[in-house]
Amino acid sequence: MTAFNLDQYAVCIGLDVGKSAHHATALTTDGTKVFDKPLPNTEAKLQHIITDLVREYGPALLVVDQPATIGALPVAVAQALDQVEVAYLPGLTMRRVADLHAGNAKTDARDAYIIAETARTMPATLRAIADSDEQIAELAVLAGFDDDLLATTTATRNQLRGLLTQMHPGLERVVGPKLHHTGVQDVLTRWPTPHALHTAGRGHVRKRIAKHNPRLAAKLTTRIFDALQAQTVVVPGTSAAATIVPMLAAQLTTLYAQRAQVLAQVEALVDDHPLSPVLMSIPGVATRTASRLLTEVVGKEFKTAGHLASYAGIAPTTRRSGTSIRGEFANRGGNKRLKSALFNSAFASLSHHPSRAYYDKKRAEHKTHKQAVIALARRRLDTLYAMLRDGTFYQAPTPQKTGHNLAQAA
């Protein structure tokens, strides 16, 4: 985390960003308010106001409460100007600082003033924003869209499984876990009801599945028709489901294709980044995890691995109050995107012996599966921090010849 030296600036500009307009408040180093107006979210107007403030008062520190999405344009404009530095005030920090100010109104003008005043009086709360990295910016957009596609895919799949369960539970138990296969999606698009599947016959169903998933076709077809023979009753609502099931199956096909297309672009950007070989050398880190590490960690400054763990939300929270409350509890905050990526990566690394050994150690300490994986993610984060700090590749730990003969996890 960068410490800003306020002696370098003559004015602090707090910017409460918005979709169509922002609100800017500028304070001199002695706290005098010299600007307090809404600003259109246009390059020309932003550039004009910031340039005028710099010309009249001197070097400026522009602080935003949201550096990405709706705050991306003012950040880019300010970074392109001389004698202007840009910083970011995290939203949670801002809300806590706001509680120290009189009143509880929630207005753009008040928020902009709080941002500027915090920058002027508590520079340690600010985070630096590095000059725009085109690769990181593109990765952030693609990774965010991939997250949206994943959420939509999960919702569509669950809706489809719900309909299948309603009209034929046995059929759902067979095809539900296989909905990510294109052959299954194609079959449900063509023959969406048990009656339609039975009428089509084993040969046609097997050929449709084999067209996309040849190794799956014979076994799955047998299981489908075994399930069909086990239920002869037609459940009310099946005819309506015949209209909806093919739509949902077609949506799944489109969503999976879109995710594959986005992943191809993410892979190209990750492969071109100089830190890609470092990140990908860690067991359990694949393209999507590497992209999240690049967008959420690289470019930000953390004094220690503990600071990074706290930022990610995988460091336990200590609570003590006299003798009544003592202990450590799961962190409910942090960067949820990064936390999810680290958790999934740690889970994927369980086939790696050192990681598995550390996980088993935590399970032997009566930790739940989730607690053990989080502990493993925390241990792996120490390694990741050192690798990024030193620019070194992952090296498997040497097994310690102790009574436990337990290797440390990555």
Q: Which of 132, 154, 182 is the last residue of a domain?
A: 132
Work out the average pLDDT over 48-73.
89
My answer on whether 177 and 263 are in the same domain is yes
Higher pLDDT, 347 or 295: 347
Amino acid at 3: A
**pLDDT, tens digit, for every residue of 37-54?**
998 889 999 999 999 999
Does 138 score more than 60 pLDDT?
A: yes
Give me the helix-helix angle, 287-296 and 238-272, nearest 10°: 60
Report yes or no on 379 lying in a domain: yes
> Which CATH number is 175's domain given?
1.10.287
Higher pLDDT, 325 or 34: 34
**Lowest mean pLDDT: which of 131-145, 194-208, 256-270?**
131-145
The answer to whether 172 and 165 are in contact (CB under 8 A) is yes
Report yes or no on 408 lying in a domain: no
Alpha helices (runs of H) in 58-193, residue ranges in sequence order = 72-79, 91-98, 108-121, 134-167, 169-175, 182-190
**Cα dist from 353 to 90, 282, 357, whole Å:** 38, 13, 6
Task: Give the span between the Cα atoms of 173 and 405, in whole angstroms.
Answer: 43
Work out the average pLDDT over 399-408.
48
Does 404 score more than 50 pLDDT?
A: no
Helix, strand, coil percent content, the chain, rounded in steps of 5: 60, 10, 30
My answer on whether 17 and 66 are in the same domain is yes
Task: Give the span between the Cα atoms of 9 and 26, in whole angstroms.
Answer: 12
Report yes or no on 69 lying in a domain: yes
Report yes or no on 357 lying in a domain: yes
Report yes or no on 1 lying in a domain: no
My answer on whether 106 and 160 are in the same domain is no
Report yes or no on 240 lying in a domain: yes
Q: Which residues contact 71 (CB under 8 A, 6 or more apart)?
A: 15, 17, 64, 65
DSSP output for 385-400: HHHHHHT----PPPPP
My answer on whether 58 and 165 are in the same domain is no
Task: Quote the pTM value.
Answer: 0.70
**Cα dist from 238 to 133, 164, 231, 351, whole Å:** 53, 9, 13, 43
Mean model confidence pLDDT for the chain:
87
Work out the average pLDDT over 155-181.
96
* Count of domains forming the chain: 3
pLDDT (0 to 100) of residue 331? 64
List the structure tokens of 99: 């509680």
Residue 407's pLDDT band (cuts 50, 70, 90): very low
Above pLDDT 70, what percent of the chain?
Answer: 90
pLDDT (0 to 100) of residue 406? 39
Domain of residue 342 covers 278-320+327-390
pLDDT (0 to 100) of residue 300? 75
pLDDT (0 to 100) of residue 3? 60
Report yes or no on 403 lying in a domain: no
Work out the average pLDDT over 283-310.
87
The answer to whether 60 and 9 are in contact (CB under 8 A) is yes
My answer on whether 253 and 292 are in the same domain is no
Report yes or no on 119 lying in a domain: yes
pLDDT (0 to 100) of residue 329? 55
Does 132 score more than 60 pLDDT?
A: no
